[in-house]
Chains A and B, each alone.
Chain A
Amino acid sequence: MEADAAQYIGAGLATLGMIGAGIGVGNIFGNFLAGALRNPSAAAGQVGNLFVGAALAEALGILAFVLALLLIFAV
């Protein structure tokens, strides 16, 4: 197999890491919405925590994305 082809396959496989980030971010927003509908008056105070949690979960998806970019452009 040519090295170029392996590079692109590797980059494609790296994007699979985003599945985990998708599940994580979906969990956070889904649970926030479920909690916010039960007690809407407390929801506004938790928006900051919501975004921090989403950002932390998303960071892992970003790592997968950066890995894919590295495989294409830096290897």
Chain B
Amino acid sequence: MADPMHQFEVQKIVDLPDIPTPFGAIDMSITNATVAMFIAAGIITALMAAVTARPAVVPGRLQAVGELLFGMIDNLAEGIIGHEGRKFFPFVFTLFLFILAMNTIGLFLVFTATSQLAVTATLAIMVMTIVLFVGFARNGLGFFKLFVPSGVPGPLIPAIFLIEVLSFLLRPVTLALRLFGNMLGGHVALKVFAGFVVSLGALASTGGLGTLAILPAIASLGGVIALTALEFLVAFLQAFVFTVLTCIYLNDVVNLGHGH
């Protein structure tokens, strides 16, 4: 039986030479992970180009899809960050569409880019870098007020400060691991159940008492179908959750000190 972890192996498709940098050589080869991300970016660009190609006052079907996605994230950013949410909308919307596309492509094609920790960690580090940048640019050293909640009694401040700093540093870790773990776990479960169908089906074909194995094989097939439906929900939900958390983290630094 095929190894359920085999689907996550990164394989080189086009071998390109290493590029030396001061931090060590970077392998620029095109792998199945990069191809999956190219496809995701291509689909988003094509969809958004098609959606905005012939805008009408009364939207057609395709335009309605685009407006639905756009409106959903716009409401989300405005609802969490407030009236300054518009400034961060392009970043948040791009992040949402890119993750949603990578998650969904993983269900149709063979490779899920978001099941690579390198990909999700890069996205999480990018989000936290922007949060830090916005935080220092808007508040200066007042940024450190983020770690001292208002109303804390004086003697407790050092302890609270340490805990808050630690929890801030853990944010990118959980952000990356949540998306990675959900995608990895879901796809492993799918392949394990699919493996049951094949091995139990092979047992049933041997005849005799083994024929009874056809029943659990059919049950496993039903399980695969149900899990696939669940995975579509998870693919959307995890993209949504990543976006919501990005907005919450941005709100922390944008509206620092005057929560709204």
Partner-B contacts on A (CB < 8 A): 48, 51-52, 55, 58-59, 62-63, 65-66, 69, 73
Mostly, the A contact residues are helix
Q: When the two chains form their complex, are residues A55 and B185 in contact, meaning their CB atoms are under 8 A apart? A: no
What residues of chain A lie closer than 8 Å to B230, measured between beta carbons? Answer: none
Given contact pairs A51-B240, A69-B184, A58 touches B178 in the complex (Cβ within 8 A): yes
Q: Is the CB of B181 within 8 A of A51?
A: no
Residues in chain B near residue A59, CB distance under 8 A: 174, 177-178
Complex CA gap A55/B238 in Å reads 8
Instruction: List 22 A-B residue pairs with CB atoms under 8 Å apart, sorted by A's residue number.
Output: A48-B76, A48-B79, A48-B244, A51-B240, A51-B241, A51-B244, A55-B178, A55-B238, A55-B241, A55-B244, A55-B245, A58-B178, A58-B182, A59-B177, A59-B178, A62-B177, A62-B178, A62-B181, A62-B182, A63-B174, A63-B181, A73-B5
Interface residue from A48, A52, A65, A73 paired with B181 (Cβ < 8 Å): A65
Q: 0/1 per residue, B1-33, Cβ < 8 Å to A?
A: 000010000000000000000000000000000
Which of A55, A63, A66, A69 has the most chain B CB atoms inside 10 A of its CB? A55
Q: Which residues of B contact A48 (CB under 8 A)?
A: 76, 79, 244
Instruction: Give the residue name and chain of the B residue nearest to A48 (CB).
Output: B244
- B166 at interface by CB-CB < 8 Å: no
**In the bound complex, CA of A52 to CA of B76 (Å):** 12
